[in-house]
Amino acid sequence: MNRGSFCSNTALQIMSVTSSPISSAFKEVESLYEDLGKKQAFWAAMTYPEYLDDQNEDAFFESGKAEVDAQIHRLSELNFSVNKGRCLDFGCGVGRLTNALAQHFEEAVGVDVSSTMIDRANEIKRASNTAFVLNKREDLAQLKSDTFDFVYSNKTIQHIPYPASKNYIKDFFRALKPGGLAVFLVHDCKHTEEGSLQFNFAKWYREKARPFVKRLRGKPPVQIHPISKTNIEKFVHDAGGEILHCETDNSYTRRKRGNLRTWYWARKRS
């Protein structure tokens, strides 16, 4: 096991940016994951009983390796090339996927909103070519443009309220080098126009009503924010990217009245 030091090159890629006001919904997300990082960091990433109270660390990291190996194999199947320089793991938590990505790239950088997750990630890191960055903003402005060859995000964007989710997706492509590739998962939903009554009601329900009910039931108030394919296509296009492929994630079971989860593969235009 290699619990190496902070990547030497990463500090050069982080810019000093002024703080900006954040929404109340985003503050709720930040607070939740700060709390989970103290006592249920593994379960926050893998919501199975065997990971409660941060048990089974080896199995936890092995699950990340299996996922990343499968995704690298899928890239080969789809014939999508990617340079193996620097990659970004967005929503890294304690580094389950960051450490696995480090086996395929020269440098793997994880970014997360939770300081407790980042602290724990540095404590239990297993690869010397990893680094972990705390980001408390509703964008990725502290990451320099044209820096990464690959961006990966699983089980993260779905928990981020709008418009932060849009900002992050667009910043994936700003941070990517020309020709760089992003692979990310979102919950799909029926498209509604931003600002419409239906859009605003859904936003209120997801940010306020549903988390309130979860609290009453004694469950963590995790927010779920689906994004329509129409909006994903617009975000990616406006940010200088091009969607190459999308497909339903069949590893998840669709709940009654639930939304399918969709993987996107998109490349930054050269």
Is the pTM above the cut of 0.95? no
Q: Among residues 181, 9, 188, 192, which one has the least CA distance to residue 107?
A: 9
Euclidean distance between CA atoms 253 and 260, whole angstroms: 8
CB 223 within 8 Å of CB 193? no
Q: Among residues 38, 148, 158, which one has the least CA distance to residue 94?
A: 38
CATH class of 23-268: alpha beta
Helix, strand, coil % (nearest 5) of the chain?
40, 20, 40
pLDDT tens string, the chain, 270 residues long: the values are 343 444 544 544 566 565 667 899 999 999 999 999 998 999 999 999 999 999 999 999 999 999 999 999 999 999 999 999 999 999 999 999 999 999 999 999 999 999 999 999 999 999 999 999 999 999 999 999 999 999 999 999 999 999 999 999 999 999 999 999 999 999 999 999 989 999 999 999 999 999 999 999 999 999 999 999 999 999 999 999 999 999 998 776 544 455 689 999 999 999
Residue 137 to residues 52, 73, 200, 215, 217, Cα–Cα distance (Å): 28, 33, 23, 25, 30
Euclidean distance between CA atoms 164 and 190, whole angstroms: 19
The pairing of beta strand 86-90 with beta strand 107-112: parallel
What interhelical angle do 229-238 and 164-175 show, nearest 10? 40
